Amino acid sequence: PKPNIDPNAMLMKSYACQRRTPLKHHNSFLTDALEILAQNAEYNDNEGRSVAFRRAASVLKALPHRVKSMEDLRSLPCLGDHSQRVIKEILEDGSSREVESTRQSEQYQAIKALTGIFGVGVRTADRWFREGLRSPDDLIHTGQQLNRAQQAGVQYYDDLQKPVTKAEADVISDIVEKAVHAVLPGAEIQLMGGFRRGKEVGHDVDFLITHPEEGKEEGLMPKITNWLEEQGLLLYQKTTRNSYLEKMDGPARAPNNMDRFERCFSIFKLQASAESCTSNSTASVQDVSTGSETERHSDQHSEASDWRAVRVDLVVSPYSQFAFATLGWTGSKLFERELRRWAGQEKHMSLSSHALYDSKQNLYLRAKTEEEIFAYLGLEFIPPSERNA
């Protein structure tokens, strides 16, 4: 006899920010497939469809067991007809025809390869694809006009394809800390993004920087990048000034995923930490003689190379916004998206990486910690390691 109480319905909440999602879970064989369809929808500019697949995948990541039959999915939220069809086929046949044909499709592969280049978004990749380009090499051979970011992206393509390890992230943390403290003693630096969620590898390393005395952080980024540049540690950087004004970016403004902090998208030159090096030489001062700028990085990359390129994101936040910035830069992207959706739809509040605004009371809710923000939102606190939605 079937029990009256459905354990799934009781346990599985429908917003990802209401759930604990560990890094390692039991259903990658399903979530990888659904995320290919999500990715493909994104490539085809269909955000609604993409989010639907990502939400479905995310629910399966939060399950405490491996899905064995469709029965296991009874009463789970966020599983639409299409996702269920895909799951059913994988459970029965071991794979889904739609997923496999997507994976093999020329468009999917080309857009994936082209957006894999730093500085190239879906729009640009799609235009290049329609012009017949398929890979980074095609860009070089056809002499495409590239902006500065894309040039760096092509130049360091091979290195930037390789995942960044936690050990490398730790070395970069030491360098960033040294740089920041050299130009502003007392500043605080926090590792963000995937590594804060406990990931062992990432596509970049993210940092949030602040100072307890509000105002001290103003104009900090150029000082940091100048210091790093003088040490020969930067291969590329683009800094954007802080453009946040509470009056203008507040409730009147449509919620925007992009925050307005002072930030820097960069590529670090990371010295290989050779076993023979006894001291902390990875952060040591390098005398860099930059060679031909247009030369592709892989060409210079002989076995003798003792460094690699690593993507690093730096963000500076005023102290009063630090908790919101911390929450906003920890991810995962779906977790962030769900937090904002929860705030808007369930609480009539507006959440960004800068602030939380309560539309009912018409006021900003101040917070010093992530815990306070979850409490304002009426959510149980979810630690970073369980935000891998």
Q: Looking at 119, 136, 153, 193, which residue binds Mn ion (CB under 5 A)?
A: 193
Q: For ligand CTP, which is the closer residue by CB, 126 or 336? A: 336
Q: How far is the CB of 116 from ligand CTP (least distance, A)?
A: 12
Q: How far is the CB of 75 from Mn ion (least distance, A)?
A: 34
Q: For Mn ion, which is the closer residue by CB, 269 or 340? A: 269
Structure-token pair, residue 326: 């911390």
Span of 64-72, 200-208, 295-303, 358-366 interacting with ligand CTP by CB under 6 A: 200-208
Q: For ligand CTP, which is the closer residue by CB, 39 or 231? A: 39
Q: For Mn ion, which is the closer residue by CB, 159 or 338? A: 159
* Site membership for ligand CTP, residue 35 (CB under 6 A): no
Q: Report helix, strand or coil for 232.
A: coil
Q: How far is the CB of 301 from ligand CTP (least distance, A)?
A: 23
Bridge partners of 345, per DSSP, are none
Task: State how far Cα 380 lies from the chain centre.
Answer: 23
Q: How far is the CB of 238 from ligand CTP (least distance, A)?
A: 12
Structure-token pair, residue 75: 């009463």
**Dihedral (CA of 99, 105, 111, 117) sign:** positive
Q: Looking at 141, 162, 333, 366, which residue binds ligand CTP (CB under 6 A)?
A: 333
Please choose which of Mn ion, ligand CTP, none residue 258 contacts, taking the beta carbon within 5 to 8 angstroms, the exact cut-off set by kind.
Answer: ligand CTP
* Site membership for ligand CTP, residue 384 (CB under 6 A): no
* Site membership for Mn ion, residue 204 (CB under 5 A): yes
Nearest Cα neighbor of 152 from 307, 296, 314 is: 296
Restricted to residues 268-287, the positions that interact with ligand CTP (CB under 6 A) are: none
Q: For Mn ion, which is the closer residue by CB, 318 or 328? A: 328
DSSP letter at 12 equals: -
Query: What is the distance between the alpha carbons of residues 113 and 48, in angstroms, rounded to a whole number?
Result: 23
Bridge partners of 263, per DSSP, are 240, 315
* Site membership for Mn ion, residue 158 (CB under 5 A): no
62 and 332 in contact (C-beta within 8 Å)? no
User: What residues are annotated to the active site?
Assistant: 204, 206, 313
Span of 73-81, 193-201, 208-216, 320-328 interacting with Mn ion by CB under 5 A: 193-201
Q: For ligand CTP, which is the closer residue by CB, 127 or 333? A: 333
Q: Report helix, strand or coil for 185.
A: coil
**Structure-token match 């590792």, residue found:** 191
* Site membership for ligand CTP, residue 332 (CB under 6 A): yes
The order of strands in the sheet holding 234-240 is 188-191, 205-210, 307-316, 262-271, 234-240
Q: Looking at 206, 217, 336, 370, which residue binds Mn ion (CB under 5 A)?
A: 206
Spell out the SS3 assignment of 32-92: HHHHHHHHHHHHCCCHHHHHHHHHHHHHHHCCCCCCCCHHHHCCCCCCCHHHHHHHHHHHH
Write out the residues near ligand CTP by the rule CB under 6 A.
Answer: 193-194, 199, 202-204, 206, 258-259, 328-333, 336, 353
